[in-house]
Amino acid sequence: MLTRRVTSQQPSLSRGAHSVNRVWMLSYECAGLAQAGGLGEAVAGLARTLAQDSKLEVTVFLPSHGRHLDKDLRTAYNLKDETTFIANGYRTGTDRVHYHYLAGIERGYRDSVHYALVKGLDGRTSKWLDDRTLYDSNVMFEKMSLFARTVKTYSDYLLATGSLSNLPDLIHAHDWHMIPAGVALKQSLEENRVRVPLVFTIHLLGRVSLPWHYASDAWCGIQDLQHDVRIGRKGVLTLGYRQVWEGYCHDSLERFGCYEANYVTSVSSSYLTDDVSEYVGSAITGKNGHVYNGCDWDNEEINSMVRVDQTSEKPIGLNDRYLNRWDLRRHLLTQSLAQAKPIVEDENNLGRSQEQQDQSKRLIEPFEEDGSLVLMTGRLSPQKGVDILLEAVPRVLKALPGTKFLFFLLPSNNPDSNKSTIMVAAGYPRNVRLIFGRDRPLYLLSYVAADVYAMPSRVEPFGISALEAMITGNPVVGADVGGLRETVLDIQKYGDRGTGILTPAEDARSLSSALISMIITMKIDESSQRGQVDMNYSMEEIPSKSFRELVGKNPRFGSMIRENGRSRVEEKFRWKNAGLLALARYAKAKQLSTKQMVYSKGGKSARN
C-alpha cells in the first residue's frame, strides 16, 4: 500500500468555502445522447435546470457509447474533438498483463449545458468506450474503468495547462457506475491540493460487489493512500482506500461510494430511508438527503403537437380545433397504431425467428374498436412489474371486457424475457398491444389519450413516469413503493385531493381491483361530459368503497383526479424544484468538506 497521505495541511487551491459555481456531473447515460431509462432523464433534467435556472456551469461527463459518431448528434450538441488532450496509459490486469489504452474527449454544448463524451482513440479502447450497447456486463465494466482513468487524467491535464478556472467546485456522481471515476477524480485533485467535494446520488441500488483490484490504481485508477474518512458514529478516521473498500464495505461499490462521498442523496425520502440506508448502513450517517426528480412536460404543448400530427390528414373526419380526449383515444387505438415505427437500439434482444417477428407485428396492429385505455411505459425489467400487470389483465377483462392495454416498452437485455412477454401479450389479441422501442409522436399521443396509467413496480426509487402521467391528466394506479408514495396521492387516503391509487407491491389481485375502480370512474366521467348516461357501468360496480362514495357525490370525479395530478406536478415536481433541492445538498456537501478539512488540520484524526 502506498503510504503517502491525502491531506489538506498544505495550502489548498479550493475556491470559496460554501460557493458552488461549476459542477462536473458524471453519469453513465444522459437523455438526448444515450439513454436506457430514468437515470438518463434525471441527469439531463437536473443538469439543465441547474444551468438555466440556477446559472451554474454544468458539464456532464459520460462514456461516448459511440454517439459522437452520429452526424445528427454531432450537429445537435455541437460536438468537437478536444484535440490537445489525450489519455495515454496502461492498466494492469489480475493476470499481470499490461493493457494499453488511448482515449480522448468530445466537447459539446446544448441548452446551456456542457457535455464531455469520453471516446477511444485506438481500436482496443474504442472497442469498449464506443460500443453502442449501454448495459452489457461484458462491456460496461470496461467502459467504467476507461472512463474513470480518462476523467482523472483530464483533471491532471487542466492542472498542467494552468486551466484552474475550468476545474469543478463540486463533483456529482450519478449511480454506482460512476463511483470509480468520482473517487479517482476527487483523490487526484486532493493530491494536487484542490479540495472538491463529492456528491453521490443513488438512483437505483445495483448491490454490485467487486474485488479491490478493479477499483485500484492498477485498473480504475484509485491509489491506496491514507486519507481521512468519516466512518459513521466512529467519526473521522485515517484509513487506506483499500482498507475502506475491503474492511468496511466488504467489496460493495455503493458502500464505498457512500463512505468516500461528502454527501449522499437519493431520489426520494422513502427510498433513501427504506432501501439505501438499510443496505449501506452507517456510511451515510449525518450526510444524506433526498433530491426529487422532476418533469418539465407541458401538457398544452403536447396536446397541440399530437393534435396537429394526428389531424393533418383529417383521418377522424373532424374539422373542429378542439378534440376531446376520447377522440384522440379512438384515433390512437383504431388508426395510429398502424403507423407505429418504433426504433429499437438492439433488435437482437427481441428474437429473430419468423414466428416471433410475426407476433411482434401483430402486437402493434390497430384494435378493431375503441375502449378504455390502460397505458404502461418503461423498460421491460423485473423492477417495473410488466408481468404483474399482465397477470391482472384477465381479471380486469372479466369485469370490463372492452378495456385495452397498451405497453410502450424498451426491450430487456434478456432476449428470453422479451420473448416470454410477447407470448403472454399475444394471448389477448382483442385487448393488448405491445410496442418495443421508441416512437416519440405515438408515445406522446398515448399519454394524452389514455384513461389510466399503470405503474405496478416492484421497486421504484422515484418514478418520473408517474409525473409524466399526471401532467398529461392520467390517474396513476401503482404500487405502494419508494418514490410513488411521495408523488402519487392515494385517493383512499387523500379523498378528493388524490391523484391515483397505490396497491400492495406484487399483488395482481389488488392491482386489478384498483384498475377496475379507476376505469369505471373515468368512464362515468366521460359519459357525464358527453351528456350521456352509461347504463353498462354504475357506481355499484366500483370495487372501492371510497371511490363509490366520491363518484356518488360527483360524477365528474374523474376530471377532478386529472386536474389534481396536473396541479401536483406543477406545484411540487418541476425540475426547477429539484434544482433548488440539489443546491441545498451541494451547499451541505461543501460545508461538510470544509469541516473535515479543518478537522484534519487540527490533527484529531485517529488511526485504526
Same fold flag, 5-294+578-601 and 299-572: yes
Rounded distance between C-alpha atoms, residue 290 and residue 296, angstroms: 19
Q: Do the strands 432-436 and 452-455 form a parallel or antiparallel pair, or are they unpaired?
A: unpaired
Rounded distance between C-alpha atoms, residue 114 and residue 110, angstroms: 7
- Tens-digit pLDDT profile for residues 169-185: 999 999 999 999 999 99
Q: Region 195-209: what's the mean pLDDT?
A: 97
The pTM for the full model equals 0.90
Q: Region 219-227: what's the mean pLDDT?
A: 97
Q: Region 188-211: what's the mean pLDDT?
A: 96
DSSP 8-state class, residue 9: -
**Does residue 608 surpass a pLDDT of 50?**
no
**Whole-number Cα distances in Å, 389 to 468, 514, 558:** 19, 12, 22
What single-letter amino acid sits at 151? V
Which helix (H) or strand (E) element contains residue 477?
Answer: strand 476-479
**Does residue 205 surpass a pLDDT of 50?**
yes
- Confidence label for 311 from pLDDT (cuts 50, 70 and 90): very low
Q: Where are the beta strands (DSSP E) in 371-443?
A: 373-379, 404-410, 432-436
| C-alpha cell recorded at residue 111 | 441548452
Output the average pLDDT for the chain: 90
Q: What is the CATH number of domain 5-294+578-601?
A: 3.40.50.2000
pLDDT at 318: 38
Rounded distance between C-alpha atoms, residue 515 and residue 501, angstroms: 9
Q: Compute CA 328 distance to the chain's CA centroid, rounded to the nearest angstrom.
A: 29
Q: Region 125-134: what's the mean pLDDT?
A: 96
**Does residue 130 surpass a pLDDT of 60?**
yes
pLDDT at 169: 97
Q: Region 31-47: what's the mean pLDDT?
A: 94
Q: Region 481-498: what's the mean pLDDT?
A: 97
All structural domains of the chain with their residue ranges: 5-294+578-601, 299-572
| C-alpha cell recorded at residue 102 | 488511448
- Tens-digit pLDDT profile for residues 506-540: 999 999 999 999 999 999 999 989 887 655 567 78
pLDDT at 600: 52
| Radius of gyration over every alpha carbon of the chain, rounded to an integer in angstroms | 26
The residues, ordered by sequence, that sit 6+ positions from 1 with a Cβ below 8 Å of its Cβ are 224, 240, 242
**Whole-number Cα distances in Å, 268 to 26, 30, 581:** 20, 20, 11
pLDDT at 421: 94
Burial 479-507 (b: 16+ CB within 10 A, else e): bbbbbbbbbbbbbbeeeeebbbbbbebbb
Q: Are 104 and 125 in contact (CB under 8 A)?
A: no
CATH level 2 (architecture), domain 299-572: 3-Layer(aba) Sandwich (3.40)
Q: Region 412-431: what's the mean pLDDT?
A: 92
Residue of 499, 503, 512 whose CA lies nearest to 561: 499
